[in-house]
Amino acid sequence: MAAGPSPPAGVGDRGSSSHPPPPPPPKILLAKPPLPPPSSSGADDDGGGGAGAGRSRQAPQPDSLSLVSDAWEIHTDKILPYLTENNDFMVIGVIGPTGVGKSTIMNELYGYDGSSPGMLPPFATQTEEIKATAKHCTTGIDIRISNERVILLDTQAVFSPSILIDMMKPDGSSAIPVLSGDPLSADLAHEFMGIQLGVFLASVCNILLVVSEGINDLTMWDLMLTVDLLKHNIPDPSLLTSSTTQDKENRNDNQSSNEDYIADLCFVHARLREQDFSPSKLVFLRRILEKQFGSSSFSIGSSNATPQVSDSSVPSSMKVEDLSSNRQDIFLLPLRTPDHSTTIEFGTCSSMLGMLRDQV
């Protein structure tokens, strides 16, 4: 993940008036290439000049490693060379709506340090232009592998209006074949994609980060309950065509063993204000969470019952991080300020992202 090699000493020193060539652009292992410059005239990310000038200053970038493309197709040919027969990997995925900081969280888990010169983020994050146009940043599923043997899966947003617009044909049908058979309406296919994404991540991840905005947005909770319902109640079609009872029993045993595994969930509530960082609110939120997922197969927090807690019963010295230090069920992140200044007593968004990385 270090910056590219510096040019050898002595290159470009043949004449006193010559200037050394510019160093090659920085690269990072498995990094996603930057978005292409806009075709229209105007300012771009390279700072002045047209798109051609911007491209002329850029060396070839590493290919984007997408496990699932924007056309909802799985591609494994680029991924397999980076994997081995050793299964000693931890897989961490993320799911959530647009603009809640999913890619930023995954960059932190990767170990990306934005303050270091010559480093490209492994996952692209929203720019001001993307925010202004209300567009999404990630499409499909992007995969990166850190030097700590952690496989990170960054995913496209769920409940995203811009994704819905992109996949909608003029007649209102979906341009992406989410299911076989007759084409679906775009809004129905878009809803299916969110559920399919959740089922896939719950099946392959060790830890799945479920990110939502604010303390009161529980739509992601409802989505994960739907994911749990579908993951464990979709029958194996081969069971319907088995010729003997013994075949049915064997296939049923195999299916049950495959369905035993499901990812551990960590609910991340991001972009919170200072008044949301109350230990009593966190404990109350945890109680609701454990009640909501009590009958699900997801592992949420510990098995111990959460005690009744109110503002008056919480010691004034207790902090939010004290309640989250030994559990992975809920994590709170403050609103990120442009100057990264400390807006709450628990620290900045960057410092609490580091706490999340240590906890996970």
Looking at the domain assignment, is residue 49 inside a domain? no
SS (H, E, C) 134-147: CCCCCCCEEEEECC
Asked whether the beta carbons of 222 and 97 are under 8 A apart, the reply is no
**Three-state SS for 321?**
helix
Alpha-carbon gap, residue 257 to 240, rounded angstroms: 18
CB 186 within 8 A of CB 168: yes
**Model confidence over 183-197: pLDDT tens digits?**
889 999 999 999 999
DSSP per residue, 61-129: PPPP-EEE-TTS-B--TTTGGG--S----EEEEEE--TTS-HHHHHHHHHT--TTSTT---SS----HH
> What is the pTM assigned to this prediction?
0.70
Question: What pLDDT digit, counting tens, does each position of 144-176 carry?
Answer: 988 888 999 999 999 998 999 989 999 999 988
**Is a pLDDT exceeding 60 seen at residue 307?**
no
- DSSP conformation class of 255: H
Tokens 């088995």: give the residue.
Answer: 242
User: How many domains does the structure of the chain reveal?
Assistant: 1
* Structure tokens belonging to residue 71: 């056309």
Give residue-wise pLDDT tens across range 9-57.
444 444 444 555 655 544 444 444 444 444 443 333 333 333 333 333 3
Q: Is there a domain that residue 47 lies in?
A: no
Task: Say if CB 167 and CB 175 are below 8 A apart.
Answer: yes
Cα separation, 256 vs 249, whole angstroms = 10
Q: Which residues span the domain enclosing 150? A: 64-359
**Alpha helix segments (H runs only) across the chain:** 51-56, 102-110, 128-132, 161-166, 186-204, 219-231, 245-259, 279-292, 320-324, 349-359
Q: Does residue 333 sit within a domain?
A: yes
pLDDT at 49: 39
Per-chain mean pLDDT for the chain = 72
> Rounded to an integer, what distance in angstroms lies between the CA atom of residue 16 and that of residue 98?
53
- Decide if 137 is inside a domain: yes
Task: Extract the tokens encoding 287.
Answer: 């109680």
pLDDT in tens, 70-123: 888 888 887 777 776 667 889 999 999 998 989 989 998 988 887 777 778 888
Domain membership flag for residue 9 = no
Give pLDDT, residue 352: 73
Q: Which two tokens stand for residue 80?
A: 């397999």
**Does residue 14 belong to any structural domain of this protein?**
no
Residue 257 phi/psi, 5° resolution? -65, -35
Contact 220, 95 (CB under 8 A): yes
Instruction: Return the amino acid letter for 306.
Output: T
Asked whether residue 299 is domain-assigned, the answer is yes
CATH of the domain at 352: 3.40.50.300
Within-domain flag for 146: yes
